[in-house]
């Protein structure tokens, strides 16, 4: 018990949010009469929040360096609008449109990165300006109306599922196999990580606790696998999100640029004196977020099957809130990709659960704002105890 208390105390941000997610899921499962965890609704939660998950992944490096971006929703809406015009009016195929969208996102990120990193204008001012600029651009290029529908290929970006190679059963058997493979991968990674820590003399958890933690992770994977298998299988967009989670977790945890992101957010002056190119790192962080904002915008447009003037409204709140709720520090230097995903899932489950209960949008926004405030307050409280 003493070991468990110590681990919980040392990992308050990580474990606290996981527990919070489980509690919120169970709460909404109870008050919605079991609707929340129906296979169809679980799939809808993933599809409805895929773009927020992507934005949260992109927002994390920016928050790690002690900044944030208010323009991601407007950029996502603008790229979705441009994609709609290229597909509907000019009949361009999917791949060129997709690449053009990503390039636009990179250029927007570069534009903001130049002002923030090299002109030393506060990120709040630059991104607020961009939010207004691209919100106006979106309305202008769409002429104030929605444009659609997209081609089937473009819609597949957000609505397709992995095919079932072993078709014929009640459950999507390919999904079950992938879930089992995922569990095996988690077990092997845990064993390897523990062996490396022991080799270098680092402190490790007791074997029983490590087994229990791994078992819980595998249980979660298999449960989610069952929900997907009972409907249509794994959504294609989830494969994309999982790939981004793995990639950005590797970058932030295992690479030099990842360590420099944390160093820059922890103390910018010390990072500069240690030889880190802080301006270039800031620039790259905003370019990266611009690309992922564009990706999120195209996925959202594909889900709506149209480019709309109001697309992306409020996305910046959900993305920033996801990172803070997931344990990122408002002052920079602290946060993980996994935490941002957990934060995004908390927001997604809350949105879905409140919608099932018939709670109006205005109250949903108020509740999410309160949750964001409490998350930042929790961050300050835990830092004061360190």
Distance in angstroms (rounded) separating the CA atoms of residues 235 and 316: 24
Residue from 54, 51, 73 nearest 128 by CA: 73
- In this structure, is residue 71 part of a structural domain? yes
Within this chain, do residues 217 and 243 fall inside the same structural domain, yes or no?
no
The percentage of residues in the chain with a pLDDT greater than 90, rounded to a whole number, is: 37
pLDDT digits (tens, 9 = 90+) for 260-311: 999 998 888 888 888 889 999 999 999 999 999 999 999 999 998 988 998 8
- In this structure, is residue 38 part of a structural domain? no
Q: What is the mean pLDDT of the chain?
A: 86
Give the mean pLDDT of 226-239: 90
Residue 15 predicted with pLDDT over 70: no
H or E segment to which residue 310 belongs: none
What DSSP character marks residue 89?
I
Of the three residues 183, 217, 234, the one that is the final residue of a domain is 234
Distance in angstroms (rounded) separating the CA atoms of residues 12 and 265: 20
Distance in angstroms (rounded) separating the CA atoms of residues 69 and 128: 8
Within this chain, do residues 209 and 184 fall inside the same structural domain, yes or no?
yes
pLDDT classification of 242: cutoffs 50, 70, 90: very high
Distance in angstroms (rounded) separating the CA atoms of residues 261 and 315: 24
- CB within 8 Å of 334: residues ≥ 6 apart: 13, 64, 262, 265, 327, 328
Within this chain, do residues 257 and 306 fall inside the same structural domain, yes or no?
yes
Domain that holds residue 144: 15-27+43-160+235-380
* Residues forming a β-bridge with 72: none
Q: How many CB atoms lie within 10 A of CB 270?
A: 11
Residue 80, class by beta-carbon neighbours within 10 Å (0-12 exposed, 13-18 middle, 19+ buried)? buried
Residue from 174, 150, 160 nearest 47 by CA: 160
Residue from 203, 89, 59, 199 nearest 151 by CA: 89
Within this chain, do residues 363 and 241 fall inside the same structural domain, yes or no?
yes
Of the three residues 206, 234, 262, the one that is the final residue of a domain is 234
pTM over 0.75: yes
Alpha helices in the chain (DSSP H): 2-10, 12-31, 39-64, 72-84, 94-113, 123-142, 152-159, 173-199, 207-229, 236-254, 256-266, 268-273, 278-304, 315-325, 337-356, 361-384
What DSSP character marks residue 311?
T
Strand, helix or coil for residue 147 = strand
> Domain total for the chain?
2
Strand, helix or coil for residue 235 = strand
Strand, helix or coil for residue 116 = helix
Within this chain, do residues 369 and 243 fall inside the same structural domain, yes or no?
yes
Within this chain, do residues 273 and 346 fall inside the same structural domain, yes or no?
yes
Query: Tell me, what's the pLDDT at 287?
Result: 96
The percentage of residues in the chain with a pLDDT greater than 70, rounded to a whole number, is: 92
Cα–Cα–Cα angle for 69, 72, 74, nearest 5°? 125
Within this chain, do residues 217 and 320 fall inside the same structural domain, yes or no?
no
What is the domain-level CATH number for residue 262? 1.10.3470
- In this structure, is residue 366 part of a structural domain? yes
Between residues 374 and 104, the one the model is more confident about: 104
- CB within 8 Å of 350: residues ≥ 6 apart: 24, 28, 364, 367, 368, 371
Residue 12 predicted with pLDDT over 70: no
Residue 166 predicted with pLDDT over 80: no
Between the two ends of the chain, the Cα-to-Cα distance in Å is 21
Within this chain, do residues 151 and 109 fall inside the same structural domain, yes or no?
yes
- In this structure, is residue 34 part of a structural domain? no
Of the three residues 177, 208, 234, the one that is the final residue of a domain is 234
The torsion of the CA quartet 58, 59, 61, 62, rounded to 10 degrees, works out to 130
Strand, helix or coil for residue 163 = coil
Within this chain, do residues 140 and 246 fall inside the same structural domain, yes or no?
yes
Residue 93 predicted with pLDDT over 60: yes
Distance in angstroms (rounded) separating the CA atoms of residues 125 and 112: 10
* Residues forming a β-bridge with 161: 235
pLDDT digits (tens, 9 = 90+) for 70-79: 999 999 999 9
- CB within 8 Å of 340: residues ≥ 6 apart: 56, 57, 59, 60, 322, 323, 326, 328
- In this structure, is residue 287 part of a structural domain? yes
Distance in angstroms (rounded) separating the CA atoms of residues 328 and 380: 11
Within this chain, do residues 258 and 209 fall inside the same structural domain, yes or no?
no
């Amino acid at each position: 018990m003493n070991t468990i208390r110590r681990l919980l105390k040392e990992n308050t941000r990580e474990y606290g949010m996981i527990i919070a997610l489980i509690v919120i899921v169970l709460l909404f499962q109870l008050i919605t009469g079991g609707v929340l965890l129906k296979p169809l609704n679980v799939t809808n939660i993933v599809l409805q929040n895929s773009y927020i998950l992507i934005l949260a992944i992109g927002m994390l490096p920016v928050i790690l360096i002690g900044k944030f971006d208010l323009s991601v929703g407007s950029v996502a809406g603008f790229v979705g609008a441009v994609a709609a015009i290229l597909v509907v009016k000019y009949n361009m195929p999917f791949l060129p449109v997709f690449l053009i969208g990503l390039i636009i996102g990179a250029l927007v990120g570069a534009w903001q990165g130049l002002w923030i990193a090299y002109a030393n204008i506060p990120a709040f001012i630059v991104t607020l300006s961009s939010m207004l600029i691209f919100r106006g651009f979106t309305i202008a290029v769409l002429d104030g109306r929605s444009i659609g529908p997209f081609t089937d290929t473009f819609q597949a970006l957000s609505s397709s599922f992995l095919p079932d190679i072993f078709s014929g059963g009640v459950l999507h058997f390919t999904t079950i196999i992938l879930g089992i493979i995922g569990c095996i991968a988690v077990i092997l990674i845990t064993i390897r990580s523990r062996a490396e820590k022991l080799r270098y003399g680092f402190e490790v958890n007791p074997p029983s606790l490590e087994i229990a933690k791994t078992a819980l992770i595998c249980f979660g994977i298999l449960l989610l696998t069952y929900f997907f298998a009972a409907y249509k299988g794994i959504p294609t967009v989830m494969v994309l999100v999982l790939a981004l989670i793995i990639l950005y977790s590797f970058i932030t945890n295992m690479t030099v640029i990842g360590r420099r992101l944390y160093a820059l957010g922890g103390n910018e002056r010390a990072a500069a004196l240690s030889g880190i190119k802080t301006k270039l790192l800031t620039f790259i962080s905003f370019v990266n977020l611009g690309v992922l904002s564009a990706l999120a915008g195209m996925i959202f447009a594909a889900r709506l099957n149209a480019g709309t003037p109001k697309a992306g409204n409020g996305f910046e709140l959900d993305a920033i809130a996801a990172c803070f709720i997931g344990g990122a520090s408002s002052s920079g230097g602290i946060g993980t990709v996994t935490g941002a995903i957990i934060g995004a899932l908390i927001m997604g489950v809350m949105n879905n659960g409140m919608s099932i209960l018939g709670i109006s949008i205005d109250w949903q926004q108020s509740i999410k704002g309160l949750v964001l405030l409490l998350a930042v307050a929790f961050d300050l409280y835990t830092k004061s105890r360190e």
